[in-house]
């Protein structure tokens, strides 16, 4: 059969399957199944996946909670924009706001302690990406994403926005301190 000429048999699809063709169908099907079952398997056993809780919120409600945390636990300010750095107590709820084009505030956490990190966006969709750990969370306006985090290495981490959010996207960077 040629790909250019019309098939000699008009009902060409009723021809018996070639062995090679059948083999490929089986291989493709088995691989599909492997990929399909890897999704739930990797969600449970894979180390890189975060299981986050998500709640409805509004920018006003979330900003109030973040502001309360900053008022209580601010230790200093950094950068030309005077972004507050907060050192909340171990085990507490910590809040991080994504907006055009900054993260607010900066967090200073303790090594080995567990925190509940709350994330939201004030305006558009942003992406929370913690470097060099490569932890990624989509941050959506109207939603409060909560993840439990336990830093296990001291140092300064970078936070970058990994969801294109406009002209200042590349400037949407911040830091996270672990002491």
Binding site for ligand CUA (CB under 6 A): 101, 126, 161, 163-165, 169, 172
Q: 113 vs 141, which CB is nearer to ligand CUA?
A: 141
Distance CA 139, CA 160 (A): 12
Across 13-154, the runs of DSSP E, i.e. the strands, are 53-56, 74-78, 83-86, 93-99, 102-104, 106-109, 115-121, 126-131, 135-139, 143-149
For the beta carbon of residue 3, count every other beta carbon within 10 angstroms.
Answer: 5
Distance CA 143, CA 145 (A): 6
Q: At its nearest, how many Å lie between ligand CUA and the CB of residue 167?
A: 10
Q: At its nearest, how many Å lie between ligand CUA and the CB of residue 71?
A: 25
For the beta carbon of residue 6, count every other beta carbon within 10 angstroms.
Answer: 9
Q: For residue 23, what is the enclosing H or E element?
A: helix 19-45
Q: At its nearest, how many Å lie between ligand CUA and the CB of residue 54?
A: 19
Q: In which residue are the tokens 């959010």 written? A: 165
Q: At its nearest, how many Å lie between ligand CUA and the CB of residue 157?
A: 17
């Amino acid at each position: 059969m040629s790909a250019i000429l019309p098939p000699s048999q008009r009902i060409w699809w009723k021809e018996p399957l070639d062995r090679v063709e059948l083999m490929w169908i089986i291989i493709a099907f088995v691989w599909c199944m492997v990929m399909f079952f890897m999704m739930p398997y990797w969600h449970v056993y894979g180390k890189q996946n975060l299981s986050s809780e998500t709640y409805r919120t509004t920018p006003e409600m979330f900003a109030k909670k973040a502001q309360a945390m900053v008022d209580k636990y601010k230790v200093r300010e950094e950068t030309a924009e005077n972004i507050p750095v907060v050192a909340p107590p171990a085990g507490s709820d910590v809040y991080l706001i994504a907006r055009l084009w900054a993260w607010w505030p900066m967090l200073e956490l303790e090594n080995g302690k567990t925190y509940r990190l709350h994330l939201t966006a004030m305006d558009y969709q942003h992406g929370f990406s913690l470097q060099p750990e490569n932890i990624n969370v989509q941050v959506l306006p109207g939603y409060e994403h909560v993840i439990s985090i336990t830093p296990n290495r001291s140092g300064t981490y970078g936070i970058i926005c990994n969801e294109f959010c406009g002209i200042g996207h590349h400037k949407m960077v911040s830091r996270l301190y672990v002491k």
